[in-house]
Structure 1
Amino acid sequence: MDITRTTMPNAGSPSYQLEGRTAKNLYKGPSGELADKIDKVYERENRINKSFANPKEHIERKYFDPTYSHYKVLDGDLLSANRMDAYDNEMRVLNGGRPYVYSVIDYAYRGYEAPSINGEIESFRSVIHDRLNMDFQVSKLFEENDINIPSGASLTFRSDLYTNRISVLGEIDDNLKQRIENVLNQGNNADKLSTHIGYSASSLGKSEQYSLEKSRLWNLAGKIYKYTGYDMRDLEARDGSFFTKEGEDVLEKVEDGVRNATTDNTPTEQRAALGMLRSNIKYFSEKGIYKENAFTDIEFKDGHLLDVRQKYKYGVGQNGWIHDMAKEKGVDDYELSKDGIKLLSKGEPFIVPSRKIAAYQKTRKEDDLPLHRVIKKALDEFFDKIKLDIPTGTNLKIFYDKMPHKLFVYGIQSGVISDMVNSSINQNKELLDLFSQLSMVNFSKKI
């Protein structure tokens, strides 16, 4: 017998199909907005870099030559990870690429107000955003097929672990229930909805329906059904694999399917995918497959998909905890819609996690000092008073270190003059206190 894919009966070609997560409805929160802003920062830097005769040399000196007039102080560490990221990003953009590191720290060091982003919260918001989109898609699917579910009726959509087929449970008319099942199992609708249900019940949500082993079995069963048309429950487990009643090993067919699906991957990635497939087949052939709990449920009521039996729920009316979590973590709080986000309240300002604060002091009075006006005035007065022989145009780099509450001045060629400036500036209590205060708040700087 030739193993072929069995298809579900389809009542014609529906005008609308569930899309699931697509490029056009991906969640784009603070992280995405920050990435866009950083792209623009590097586009601007790239235009400036290209104005130099040798852009590559300019970028290299800008980050690693403290004597260069365009040297970037950033955090004052010549070999910091942030400096290396900024250098690599500028080189990548110069060569026609995009930044490979989108760093809040990078953005803040360049003098911009950076958002406070919490990775865990952003992961939750992404799932909530997916849910809002899936609510819209399911409601549109029903509308397109003239399915009207009574207000207040509570249904359960049950996804079969082995086939992804959706069953409908609930106290509604049997004819309506059958129509809903038919629509949900047309085309790719069952796969899209089952994938959403499975991801919603993943480890992130702390669901009672989820386990790593169950997820592993769902993944394998899906491949077997996709590439052979067989339900794993109809196969015989023996000799480290699964066999049809006619004695054919399904591993060979599934391997062909995985191999064809990974032709664009590297040979190493393809071998890894095939190795994982063989490992999973051997594991479940020996351990056995689920006979009970071989499904995942989600409720549907008044146009909304609602999670069941999990700590973090993403449905409308269920997800208020995300606002409490944002306040607890001190990050910006947003109202989410299927089309985007709207700021509700600001969280705590992002503080650059560095003990060092950089200031830029030029001895030319006409030059615009880019730091806080108060410290500019204090620095002007200091250098006017000490009357040391610092060449006009010298670009001084001044750092404040909280431990041990001290200022460091770099950029003076003469060692004797440099020592005298460093000694004098650390006797100036006003400057020390000013830098100490500035290190506790956000401020912008121009490089």
Structure 2
Amino acid sequence: MAPNDSAETNGGTRGTAAGRRKAARYIVPVAVAGVAAATIGLVPALASSGDPDLPKISAQELIEKIAASDTEQLSGTVKISTDLGIPSLGGLAGSFAPGGAGGDGGKGGSSADPQERMTELASGTHTLRIAADGPDRQRLSILDNASEYSLIHNGDQVWAYDSKSDQAYHATEKQAGEDAGRDAGKKSGHPVPEGVPTTPKALAEQVLKAAGPTTSVTVDGTAQVAGRDAYKLVVKPRQSGSTIGSVTVAVDAESGVPLKFTLLPAAGGKAVVDAGFTEVDFAKPDASLFTFTPPKGTEVTEADDAKAQHKADKGLGDLIPGADAAQPGAGEPGAKNTKVIGEGWSAIAEITTPGATGLPSKASGDVPAEAQQFLDALGDKVTGKFGSGTVFKTRLVNALMTDDGKVYVGAVTKDALVKAANSAS
């Protein structure tokens, strides 16, 4: 077993950024807009007789091994579980479902639209089947008891198909969200808008990209994942106030590909995010996996039509003022309504909602009683120098909305949010 070894990061590991950019082109598509992000409580892949005996490696060397991984071809099965501790939506669940009575007003959005379907990964346990053959061909399938949802990228074509409803979604790579200038004009390999990662590799890259002087990185022994020998890289915050306790990445000893990702909360208990291969093969996948022709009678939605539908939908904007400001891009440099307080693991985004309005209330008639019940189940009333507000909690991301219309959000504790709001007053 490799002994513990550590490395204090100092704003990033030299030489790893370019490697991660290169490696990012090889991962299966990532998808889903919205908070929460990342997910997983995984049953260990295959039983092993004990931890493998591998040569000693430092944390620095292991990070570089991940970044330098040139694996372009793989296939396998991933189990992903997410436990954010969010109360059940109850009757609201159907209201915002595609084609339900709420989210699209009954207009019948496609159940194959990735924007809708990939949000399923934000809760529960799921089995994914993935395949990748370089930056131009990937496939991801979410397996259900009697159905399958598949997302297929082949060249500039993107297809999604829901076998249960016999509906399909079609787009070109550019329509699906590729930023032509982001990768020096090269294809990004992401056929849908980026958001929640769907593989251990994608999850690990997000964490390591954020590593800096506020982070402790160590090698903590070895493991077997999907029958392969792996090193365990452990990443922990050095700061107080974060809801994240640690992130463990099992890294394939031979290829440097992350095989398993586990995020444990600082408060203890089961993993918030835990994803790992149960089977993996680094041979070239069969080319037929990346071809798709809609079965006869399939209802096909084109991306342009879906975009028009999304624009027509008001979504959460009616429920929570300023919700749109919390979407991807709102916190990018130049966004006037958002600023960041602190850094590293304890960073908090301060968002000023349009019109500086607080939460709607049942008494004012702004929200249905069912929606108010859901908000009350999530929230804790708090007061401070800033005034008063409500903290909405998950096991990973918490948000404070003040009564005067400001939102403070981050992977931090309730006390950290109140402190940030007080300091900004």
Give the TM-score normalised by structure 1. Answer: 0.22
Higher strand share: 2
Give the TM-score normalised by structure 2. Answer: 0.23
Larger Cα-atom Rg: 1
